[in-house]
């Protein structure tokens, strides 16, 4: 037990007795709950957190399908409206991912980099 020698040098007498009682208690009851059982709960917790983050990523495909089904028209106006809405969605996703992802933040460290990447028509949105 590596923590025992370091604790004995730093702790007061009362803290040493409490540490020793805690060590004996943990040693006595450690065999009742298998470590693999506790490790299974921990791994499940970590995987569930990761999966929830993955599920909650904003996937733009669903929203784009919704826009294409709701904004009707094969004329120029309908096409431009759909394209503009999809550009807004992409810009919003980019701005969100810049605040969350280090890879996206490295690619677009400033708003100027976003503008240089071809989102020039939406500069006024960013400045609002």
Number of domains into which the chain is organized: 2
- Where does the pLDDT of residue 49 fall: very low under 50, low under 70, confident under 90, or very high at 90 and above? very high
Domain that holds residue 75: 60-127
- 73 and 109 in a single domain? The answer is yes
Task: Give yes or no for residue 122 having a pLDDT over 90.
Answer: no
- 73 and 122 in a single domain? The answer is yes
Domain finish residue from 19, 35, 55: 55
- 122 and 66 in a single domain? The answer is yes
- 84 and 31 in a single domain? The answer is no
Tell me what the mean pLDDT of segment 28-41 comes to: 79
Task: Give yes or no for residue 2 having a pLDDT over 70.
Answer: no
Nearest to 90 by CA among 54, 61, 57, 111: 61
- 50 and 22 in a single domain? The answer is yes
Instruction: Tell whether pTM > 0.85.
Output: no
Q: Do the Cβ atoms of 72 and 61 come closer than 8 Å?
A: no
């Amino acid at each position: 037990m590596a923590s025992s020698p370091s604790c004995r040098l730093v702790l007061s007498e009362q803290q040493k007795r409490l540490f020793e009682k805690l060590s004996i208690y943990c040693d006595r009851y450690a065999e009742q709950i298998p470590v693999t059982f506790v490790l299974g709960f921990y791994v499940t917790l970590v995987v569930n957190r990761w999966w929830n983050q993955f599920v909650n990523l904003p996937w733009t495909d669903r929203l784009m399908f919704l826009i294409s089904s709701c904004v009707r028209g094969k004329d120029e106006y309908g096409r431009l409206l759909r394209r503009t809405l999809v550009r807004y969605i992409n810009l919003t996703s980019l701005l969100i991912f810049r605040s969350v992802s280090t890879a996206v933040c490295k690619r677009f460290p400033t708003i100027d980099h976003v503008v240089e990447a071809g989102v020039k028509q939406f500069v006024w949105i960013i400045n609002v």
